[in-house]
Amino acid sequence: MKNINLFDPLQVGAIALKNRIVMSPMTRCRAIGNVPNDLMAKYYGQRAGAGLIITEGTSPSPNGLGYARIPGIFSPEQVEGWKKVTSAVHAKGGKIVIQLMHTGRISHQANMPEGATILAPSAVKPAGQMWTDTLQMQDFPEPKAMTPEEIVSTKAEFVQAAKNAVTAGFDGVELHSANGYLLEQFLSPISNIRTDEYGGNIENRARFVIEVASEVAAAIGKDKTGIRLSPYGVASDMPHYPEIDDTYKYLATELNKIGIAYVHIVDHSALGGPTVPLEIKQAIRNIFKQTVILAGGHSKETAEAELQSGLADLEGFGRPFINNPDLVSRFEHGQPLSDNLDMNTFYTADEKGYTDYPVYQ
């Protein structure tokens, strides 16, 4: 057991953190017109007590804008909007990385600008529906299988988005290879039925993720690049498959070779998803030699236990940050957490249930 607590500082690649508490990425749908705004700057600034903030999923291109009102980072207007956010966090001594999320097949044309295309490794339609502001709930359509040219151009979009993030003042980027979005869609033999060098065996299915990570790391620095993974997750119609463990062990090995700053593993069991087996978390921890973040349903006590066991270096908290903007201070001073959490305002468009939760009195 290590004598570590949540309030110890840590150097993660190029990023010096004041504590080991991470604000997990959470989609909040306040980016009207897909552009970050003053309201978002206020929200993230309120939560700058975290050692590291990871933003909501942000699209690297028009093709990745799957959900209503999610932000992008591919236009000058979006970069300027994000500068307000990074400035608000840095003004309070916080650090913030942007999560680059291309939704791939988890999308609907009604949520995308004209000319954008729903792309995926293969033309495999996901089960389920998604919200659109104009048509309300809609079935997922069948995506277009990416051509070799579209694979190259999509990688380039991730690289340009990462460069834009640095311009916008971010401390780094996190590649979203979890929760059933484009990068994870390549990993699974159920959503990826390609027969070229990006499909088939584990090495081929992991190729796109590894190339994106490698090219982003080369563009902005491996010490500013992280990735999120969700082995055993089933979000966005991602059924389990026999090679899950081998897939993620191979991926961890290759990411370790690149030398990126961190791997972030999310476990959705607290929200009713399958438990991520301890064995695969331990395997990734043993293979990957840089920082490991674990997230999913933690209390202060369970998070510190994971730090002290050596399983993780940083601990992610999601929902507690929604209604406890001062979560770190509450943890530090032994103050009770708010239990006033309005799930009806998670994805609405204004300040209600977003920036109006009070600090501890």
Spatial contact of 52 and 16, defined as CB atoms under 8 Å apart: no
Spatial contact of 36 and 71, defined as CB atoms under 8 Å apart: yes
Q: Which of 43, 44, 67, 181 is catalytic?
A: 181
Largest CA distance in the chain: 59
Q: What is the DSSP code (8-state) at residue 18?
A: S
**Residue 30 has which token pair?**
């306040």
Tell me the three state secondary structure of residue 2.
coil
Distance CA 111, CA 51 (A): 33
Q: Which amino acid is at 26?
A: M
- Strand 15-17 to 10-12 pairing: antiparallel
Beta bridge partners of 226: 174, 262
Distance CA 189, CA 202 (A): 9
Beta bridge partners of 175: 100, 227
Collect all residues with Cβ–Cβ distance below 8 Å to 334 and sequence separation of at least 6: none
Strands (E), 193-270: 225-229, 262-266
Based on the number of CB atoms within 10 Å of its own CB, is 216 exposed (0-12), middle (13-18) or buried (19 or more)? buried
Question: How far does CA 54 lie from the centroid of its chain?
Answer: 7
Please, where are the H alpha helices in the chain?
A: 38-46, 76-91, 148-167, 182-187, 202-220, 244-258, 278-287, 300-309, 319-323, 327-333
Determine whether 181 is an active site residue.
yes
User: At 21, phi and psi to the nearest 5?
Assistant: -95, 120
Q: Which amino acid is at 105?
A: R
Spatial contact of 307 and 313, defined as CB atoms under 8 Å apart: yes
Q: Which residues participate in catalysis according to the annotation? A: 181
